[in-house]
Amino acid sequence: MNEEQEKNTDEYINSSEVAEEDITANDSTQLEISEFADKKKLGFGFWLAAFWLVLISFLAVFSPILPFKDADKNYIAYEQKENPLTGKVQERPVQPPYAPSGEHWLGTDQDARDILSRTIEGARISLAVGALTALFGMIVGGTLGMIAGYFKGILDKIVGAIFLVVLSFPGLILAILIVALLDRSLLTISVTLGILGVAPIGRLARAQTLSFSEREFVMAAETLGAKKSRILIKELLPNVLIPMSTLAMLVIAVAIVGEGTLAFLGLSVQGSATWGKLILTGSGLSTLESSPWVAFVPMGFLFLTVASFNYLSDRIRDYFDVRDIFVTRD
C-alpha cells in the first residue's frame, strides 16, 4: 500500500511539473504575442509626428498664398521721442531685432524681418533638399541594390565595391568638394547629399532582394518564363519598397541636418533662406544673449522635423516587421 501511494505521489509530482512547464510556455507565448501586438499599434506619437510633418509641409508649400508676412520685408518699428535740442517729439527707428509680440509672433531678426515667415520659407528649401536627396538615393541606390541582389555574380561584386567606396569616403568632405567645385543650387546640393544616401539604401535593397528572390512567388514567375525586368518590377520591388522607404525617412532627416552643416560653412543653397542659414544668422554670441529667438525658433522647427522623421521611420519599420512568434515545442 505504501509503495502504491509513493507511486501515485510521484506521478502527481511529475504531472504538476509538466503542467507548470506548459503554463510557463503559454505565458511566454502570450508575452511574445503581446509584444508583437504592441508593435502593430502605431501609437499616439506616430500620429503626432505625422501631423507635424503634414502641417509643416502644407505651410511650406502654400506659404506664398497664406496670410504670412513678407519674409524679405524689413518691418522697422518707430517710437516717439523728444529731441533734447529742439524739444519737438520725433519718430525714431527702434533698433531690431524685436522680441515676440502680437505683431510678430516669433519676433524678428537683426534686419527686422519676421522670424515666423522666414522659418516657413526656409522649410520649403530644407524639406525640398531632404526629399530630393532621398529620391535620388532610392532611385540610384535602390536600382543598383536590386540588380546586384537579383543577378548576383560579378555584377554583385562590382556594385558592392561601389557601395564600399562611397561608405569609406568622408561624407562631409565629399559634399564640400562637390559643392565648392560646381555651384550651390538646390539640385546640386540635393544630388551631393543624395550620393551619400545611395550606399545605405542600396545595401538594404540588395539584402531584401536576396531574401525575396528565393521565395516561391519569384521562383514561380521564373518557371513561367517571366522576363527579368518584370520580376524585378512586379514581384520584388513592392516587397523592397517599404524597407527602403523607412530608411529614406532617415536619409531625409540626415539631409536636412547636412544642409544646416553646409550653411555654417557658407555652402548652402544660394539666394534662398534655409533653416541652416537662419540658425547661422542668430548664432553670434551677442545675438544669442540678447535675442535668442533668432536662432532657437528655426532650430526648434529643424529639431521637431528631424525627430518626427526619425520616429516615423522607427514605427513604420516595426509595424511592417512580420516575424513568426509562435514557438513550436515537442
Domains of the chain: 115-319 (1.10.3720.10)
Cβ atoms 190, 196 nearer than 8 A: no
Query: For residues 319 and 237, which has the higher predicted lDDT (pLDDT)?
Result: 237
User: Cα separation of 205 and 144, whole Å?
Assistant: 8
**What is the band of 201 on the pLDDT scale with cuts at 50, 70, 90?**
very high
Strand partners, 81: 90
- The neighbour count for residue 36, using CB atoms within 10 Å, is 16
Strand partners, 243: none
**What is the band of 318 on the pLDDT scale with cuts at 50, 70, 90?**
confident
C-alpha cell at 260: 544646416
Each residue of 48-95: pLDDT tens digit?
Answer: 999 999 999 999 999 889 999 999 899 988 887 776 667 677 778 888
In this predicted structure, which of 26-35, 213-222, 260-269, 272-281 has the lowest mean pLDDT? 26-35
* pTM for the whole structure: 0.82
User: Cα separation of 18 and 297, whole Å?
Assistant: 63
Contacts of residue 125, defined as CB under 8 A and 6 or more positions apart, other chains included, come to 186, 259, 269, 272, 273, 274
For the segment 252-278, the average pLDDT, to the nearest whole number, is 90
Question: Considering the chain, what is the average pLDDT of its residues?
Answer: 84
Three-state DSSP state, 253? helix
User: Cα separation of 98 and 76, whole Å?
Assistant: 9
Check pLDDT > 50 for residue 172.
yes
